[in-house]
Structure 1
């Protein structure tokens, strides 16, 4: 092998190694932030704490994530990648309104229970979450409600849509299942019965 080829191969190896090191550092930062958000909460998680937990400097954190929005988006994406996310495309395949609502709420409440600690701290500290990230979560919740409401014959009935919107909220699950002690299944049945009952009065 010529000296030029050996030099080119060496540069290629060094570039790959550098890229891998950068990615590993980025991942450590994200994992540190996710851990702290899920134990202390976003409002009590500083850049210094993230840097210390990740074993890097504050400057390194800012080099990878120049603002809080970028860091929160990376954290949200990483956390969600470790969860079994709700699957509205599967509920949407059900044509019966009650079956769709039952399936959708069961899926959501399962997700809420599995991610309860992170979700509780995230909603508690909403004021510390960057607006674009907060807006994305709110939009996702609205989309869940839309999928569950649009199948009803009177899809525009305001009371029923309000009940379904209330049913998909994490705060509703927490109230019913944590504060009132219902099982996920019982909570689903209660909200489905309520949605069905209010339709005639909308």
Structure 2
């Protein structure tokens, strides 16, 4: 093998190794941030804390994530990628309004139950989140509400308000966590309230 080819191969190896190291560092930072968001919450998570948990310097965190929004985007994508998300299209397959409510709320409440540790802290610290993420939470609630509401045809303010209340994380938390209602009973209670 010629000296030039050996040099080219060595350079390519170093570049590949550097890219792997950069990706590994980024992954460690994101995982550290997700852990902190899930334990102390986004409001109490600091760059210094993330750097310490990831085993890097604060400058390294800033090099990978120049602002809170970019970091929060990466954390959200990482955490959501590990969850079984609610399947709104499956809800829409239900033509009967009461059944759609049951299917949709059961799916949504299962997601809340499975992610309660993170979701409780994110919703608690909502005011401290980047504005785009606050809007994303609102948009998700609106999308869920609308998917359950659209089957009714004529939409009245009372029904829209009750379904909006039913899809709220805090409604589920109050019923199932704070007051110990079994999840299926919470689904039935909210369905009865909306249909009544």
Give TM-score scaled by structure 2 length.
Answer: 0.96
Q: Which residue in 2 is equivalent to 1:200?
A: none
Q: Which residue in 2 is equivalent to 1:169?
A: 168
Cα separation, 1, equivalents of 2:12 and 2:93: 49
Cα separation, 1, equivalents of 2:97 and 2:20: 49
Q: Which residue in 2 is equivalent to 1:132?
A: 132
Cα separation, 2, equivalents of 1:65 and 1:162: 39
Deviation, 1:27, is: 0.6
Deviation, 1:15, is: 1.4
RMSD between aligned alpha carbons? 1.0
Higher alpha-carbon deviation: 185-194 or 10-19: 10-19
SS of 1:161's equivalent in the other structure is helix
1:43 has 2:43 as partner: yes
For residues 135-177 of structure 1, the C-alpha deviation after alignment (integer angstroms, 9 at most, x for no partner) is 11211111011111101132x2111111111100000000111
Q: Which residue in 2 is equivalent to 1:87?
A: 87
Q: Which residue in 1 is equivalent to 2:194?
A: 195
For residues 27-46 of structure 1, the C-alpha deviation after alignment (integer angstroms, 9 at most, x for no partner) is 10010011011111111111
Counterparts of 1:68-107 in structure 2 under 5 Å? 68-107=68-107
Q: Which residue in 1 is equivalent to 2:181?
A: 182
Q: Which residue in 1 is equivalent to 2:113?
A: 113
Question: In the alignment, is the contact (CA less than 8 A) between 2:41 and 2:121 conserved in 1?
Answer: yes
SS of 1:174's equivalent in the other structure is helix
Deviation, 1:101, is: 1.1
Cα separation, 2, equivalents of 1:191 and 1:8: 66
For residues 2-29 of structure 1, the C-alpha deviation after alignment (integer angstroms, 9 at most, x for no partner) is 3332222222221111111101100100
Cα separation, 1, equivalents of 2:172 and 2:46: 29
SS of 2:94's equivalent in the other structure is coil
SS of 1:94's equivalent in the other structure is coil
Q: Which residue in 2 is equivalent to 1:14?
A: 14
Higher alpha-carbon deviation: 127-136 or 182-191: 127-136
Question: In the alignment, is the contact (CA less than 8 A) between 2:127 and 2:134 conserved in 1?
Answer: no
Q: Which runs of 5+ in 2 are unaligned?
A: none
1:160 has 2:129 as partner: no
Deviation, 1:189, is: 0.2
Give TM-score scaled by structure 1 length.
Answer: 0.94
